Amino acid sequence: MTPDIAIETLHACARRSYERGRFTVASRVALLVVVLTAICARETEAYTRCAVIGIVLLGAAIGVRWRQSRGMQAANAGLLTGMIPMTAALVLCRSASAWPAEAAIATCTSAGVVAGALAARVTMEAAGAGWAEWLAAALIAGLTAALGCIGIGFGTAIGSATGVAAGAVVAMRLPGHV
């Protein structure tokens, strides 16, 4: 075996180990996402819908945390801010039968706007954060919000995710952010 081949083999082995370690660290978010999905399923009794959104959220969160340079901050900001509309929706689920559909959609959308604005501000305040991190945080926040709102109905989940996107866009347009 020539020294060049040995160095290439060593480099490939080191790269695989490095990526495996990054993936392992990124996968730690699974604990939080599984707990949020279980809470959604228990509170709403929409087991299949919560599981589907939870799986998509898990994949997105792991992907963002693993593949982006500042993915940890973006995913964490998205999860934390997305819990605002998720919590609002889960509280609303307790009395959703008494609420008109428009009020439920408006509540989830409004909470989504707040979450999106917070996700954008938190992400953009991180040193060196850019559009990729902002989009990742908004995506994770939207999926987290939809996780809570899906129990009320598909329209509220769409409203919440749309609210997150709108809030993030508005926060990005405020002075001091480009």
What pLDDT, on a 0 to 100 scale, did the predictor assign at position 148? 78
Mean pLDDT of 150-166: 72
> In 3D, which of 105, 98, 109 has the Cα closest to residue 153?
105
Residue 58 has pLDDT above 70, yes or no: yes
* Lookup: tokens for 83: 């819990």
What pLDDT, on a 0 to 100 scale, did the predictor assign at position 51? 92
pLDDT-based confidence at residue 178 (cuts at 50, 70, 90): very low
pLDDT-based confidence at residue 91 (cuts at 50, 70, 90): confident
Higher pLDDT, 138 or 32: 32
Higher pLDDT, 17 or 100: 17
> In 3D, which of 147, 131, 156, 157 has the Cα closest to residue 58?
147
Q: CA of 28: how far to CAs of 22, 44, 62, 65, 173, in Å?
A: 10, 25, 8, 10, 33
Residue 130 has pLDDT above 60, yes or no: yes
78 contacts: CB under 8 Å, gap ≥ 6: 61, 64, 119, 123, 136, 137, 138, 139, 140, 141, 142, 143, 144
pLDDT-based confidence at residue 59 (cuts at 50, 70, 90): very high
Q: Give the pLDDT confidence of 7-45 residue by residue, as tens digits.
A: 888 888 889 998 898 888 888 999 999 999 999 888 888
* Lookup: tokens for 92: 């609303």
Mean pLDDT of 74-80: 86
Which position has the token pair 């009395």? 95
What pLDDT, on a 0 to 100 scale, did the predictor assign at position 49? 87
Chain-wide mean pLDDT for the chain?
79
